[in-house]
Amino acid sequence: MTEQNELQTQESQKILDLLFSYMPKIAAERKMDNLLVLMADLGRSIVSADRCSLWLVDEDSNELWTKVAHGVKELRIPADAGFAGYSAQTGESLLIADAYQDNRFDRRSDEKTHYRTASVMTVPLMNSQGKVMGVFQAINKVGETKVFSREDLERLGLTAVYSAKTVESAMLTSELEATQREIIHILGEASESRSQETGGHIQRVAGISAKLAVAMGLPAEEVDKIRLATPMHDLGKIGIPDSVLNKPGKLTDEEYAIMKTHSELGYTMLASSKRKLLRYAANVARSHHERWDGRGYPLGLKGNEIPLAGRICAVADVLDALSSPRCYKAPWPEERVKEEFLKMSGSQFQPEVVDALMANWDEIFACYRNAPHDGDDSTGESRR
Ligand code: C2E
Ligand code: SIN
Ligand code: SIN
Ligand code: FE
Ligand code: FE
């Protein structure tokens, strides 16, 4: 092997090592900000640049933006500014030995940062439709030569192909998540709009459930799932006839039996979904009227047989039912609601959830103080 070949082999090995050390971190990262920083670090190591940044096109504002380090505010420049802007507009790569000899250079960035740019490389990132979605920019080659080589440009180009795919799939993921959140919200609202109750039940039950979950020390990921899934707990009410759902006053046994099918109905609507979160929500819908002592419905599950999110949603749901006006009852006074939970702890509700409620009572109950109580025609009597 010639000396030249050997050097090239060593160089390739170094690049492979870098890729393998960065890939798991990049694959595990879901936040776009952090991805940009990670991939810029990767690019900088691969081409031995002093600085490297990954700019993304923001079509709404016609700018390029980037994050250069964790915790630092994002940087923004006009979409056609400097070398990065040139690559973004034309889709061409640039290999520049001395920035100050090139009229595409935007000196303002050096003036602002008191940095001296000399050699520069830029490579556009193309999305799967062949459109420029961003630009990789490396500044100031480190080492003897001080200028980037054609090999460096090729390496940055390969890194850009890999980065483009990563950025595109991260964008798609966050788009999907936003869509999913929106659908969940719409579904929740749909079940609420059918019944003539004061608005906000869905959102209050979700908010209270999340607060209870936090107070019980659940991991952030579980709290998130609970916050997103509980708005659908009454989705099955969509299938309950209006005469039952909005009947003023007490339900007959027969009507109550119809009403009680809403939890299984909600489960059926959601359970066949391909989305994990919707299947999680299906279990909340089915279990939110189970009781800790096993006397609830539809399955009569007992204690820890009831999914945790269902046990939490049960407390939030009943808190809201008692504290708000319903078509069949007036809101109860605060002290009576509190006493009811203490009385039902260990029978209707898991004691730990009631403990979490009591420990945060003032904060959680705050949304019912000064709530309007007009427009209800009920006696305030309870069925039980
Ligand atoms: P909702 O109004 O959202 O009530 C949710 C749950 O709050 C009830 O589920 C019940 O577990 C709890 N709850 C209500 N009042 C009390 C109470 O005095 N003490 C205790 N410990 N818990 C109470 P449930 O019973 O399965 O009812 C499900 C849904 O059926 C209710 O949702 C409501 O929409 C409807 N519903 C129940 N009873 C009546 C009624 O008498 N008239 C009318 N029109 N609807 C009713
Ligand atoms: C709810 O969506 O649970 C409130 C409406 C009702 O109780 O009928
Ligand atoms: C139930 O019917 O048991 C709950 C509703 C109420 O108590 O008013
Ligand atoms: Fe319900
Ligand atoms: Fe409810």
- For 215-256, write each residue's pLDDT tens digit: 999 999 899 999 989 988 998 988 899 899 989 889 999 999
Residue 381 is predicted with a pLDDT of 44
Measured in Å, residue 316 CA sits from the centre of ligand 1 at 13
Q: Does residue 328's CB lie within 6 angstroms of at least one atom of ligand 3?
A: yes
CA 39 to ligand 5 center in whole angstroms:
46
pLDDT at position 199? 67
The residue nearest atom 1 of ligand 3, judged by CA position, is: 383
201 pocket-lining for ligand 2 (C-beta < 6 Å) = yes
Helix (H, G, I), strand (E, B) or coil at 50: strand
Closest atom of ligand 1 to 246 CA is: 44
| Ligand 3 atom closest to Cα of residue 259 | 2
Whether the predicted pLDDT of 376 surpasses 60: no
* Residue 314 φ/ψ, nearest 5 degrees: -60, -45
Kindly state if the Cβ of 197 falls inside 6 Å of ligand 2: yes
Name 120's bridge partners: 96, 139
Please report which confidence band the pLDDT of residue 145 belongs to, taking 50, 70 and 90 as the band edges: very high
Given a contact cutoff of 8 angstroms between Cβ atoms, the answer to whether 295 and 319 are in contact is no
What single-letter amino acid sits at 141? K
In this predicted structure, the answer to whether residue 375 has a pLDDT above a threshold of 90 is: no
Entry pTM: 0.62
Alpha helices by DSSP H, listed for 134-200, are 150-194
Catalytic residue selected from 237, 250, 276, 343: 237
Q: With bands split at pLDDT 50, 70 and 90, how would you rate the model's confidence at 1?
A: low
Residue nearest to atom 3 of ligand 2 (CA): 234
Q: Give the separation between CA 46 and CA 55, rounded to whole angstroms.
A: 17
Q: List phi, psi (to 5°) of 55.
A: -95, 140
At 372 the pLDDT is 55
Residue percentage of the chain with pLDDT more than 70: 94
Q: What's the confidence (pLDDT) of residue 377?
A: 37
Angle (CA) 250 333 362, round 5°: 130
Q: Is the pLDDT of residue 30 over 80?
A: no
239 bridge partner residues: none
CA of 319 to the centre of ligand 4 (A): 12
Confidence of residue 72 (pLDDT cuts 50, 70, 90): confident
How many Å lie between the centroid of ligand 5 and the Cα of residue 250? 17
343 noted as active-site residue: no
Angle between helices 150-194 and 3-28 (to 10 degrees): 10
Q: pLDDT at residue 194 above 80?
A: no
